[in-house]
Amino acid sequence: MNNQYGNLASQVYNLDKHIGRSFGDVEYYRERLRGSTGPILEPAVGNGRVLIPLLEAGLQVVGFDASEEMLEHCRRECAARSLPAHVTRQTFEEFAYGERFEAVIIPAGSFQLITDHGAAMATLQRVFDHLLPDGRLVVDVDPVGSVMSGSTGIRRWSTQDGDVLTLTAQLVETDFVAQTSVSQLRYDCWRAGQLAASELEFFNLRWWGVEELALALRATGFADVTVCGNYEHGRAPRTDDRSITFEARRPE
């Protein structure tokens, strides 16, 4: 399984990146979208960590994700707050809507899950085609160093049912030509001291240079491309930033 977010993986994600947890991105997107009155699309919506605060702010947000398990968490979290959950199972490579959007947002480095360069460029074109004239794309990527180094170690979480979930991560491959890294992720569920379930997933990411992605956006047809670091709008990225955010506009 590659980048699938199965049952255990989605449970760990929902425990670790729960609704209400922000890395600075929730506040940033809420501020950048302030005043929007049209529909907004969030690809790779996950458990709704960003979508739900935007809905609570009165914005019209819909989303999709490739993982039905993640979407189940999102729908449940929305229902608990009496919020609409207009989310569907779709992929970056094939998503389609009958309407166009005032904005498309891709937080949390999710765009880097598209590891093939050609597929990534096709996704940017699909996003462009789904935007209204003067509509905006806002997309995050992780700095190159963090993707290349991967994540290694063991982490654990406790569930409400008393189970213990563990994640063992190990970087297994870095391809400097394709600009990709592969980490092996093992998810285990422990119940009363016994191993109850396991999942193994290979987590693939692609890294982007700042100028590389800016050029890709312009080649797609976007204009007014701006870049900032650590969710500080108007401040150029720095070497030690934890995140880099691009904003671009579809010309009228």
List per-block mean pLDDT (blocks of 10 residues) for the chain, which spans 252 residues.
78 94 96 96 97 97 96 96 96 96 97 96 98 98 85 91 96 94 95 95 94 98 98 95 97 93
> How many of the other CB atoms lie within 10 Å of CB of 233?
12
The burial of 96, by beta-carbon neighbours within 10 Å (0-12 exposed, 13-18 middle, 19 or more buried), is given as exposed
What is the reported pLDDT for 217? Answer: 98
What is the reported pLDDT for 3? Answer: 66
Amino acid identity of 45?
V
Task: Supply 9's token pair.
Answer: 């993986």
What is the reported pLDDT for 152? Answer: 83
Task: Supply 211's token pair.
Answer: 């100028």
Q: Give the DSSP H or E segment for 188.
A: strand 180-191
The number of C-alpha atoms within 13 Å of 177 and in the hemisphere containing its C-beta is 0
**Is the full-model pTM beyond 0.75?**
yes
User: What are the backbone angles phi and psi of residue 178, rounded to the nearest 5°?
Assistant: -80, -10
Alpha carbon separation from 44 to 14, 49, 55, 144, 160 (Å, rounded): 14, 11, 16, 21, 26
What is the reported pLDDT for 1? Answer: 44
Task: Supply 96's token pair.
Answer: 């389609």
Alpha carbon separation from 31 to 24, 55, 59 (Å, rounded): 11, 13, 11
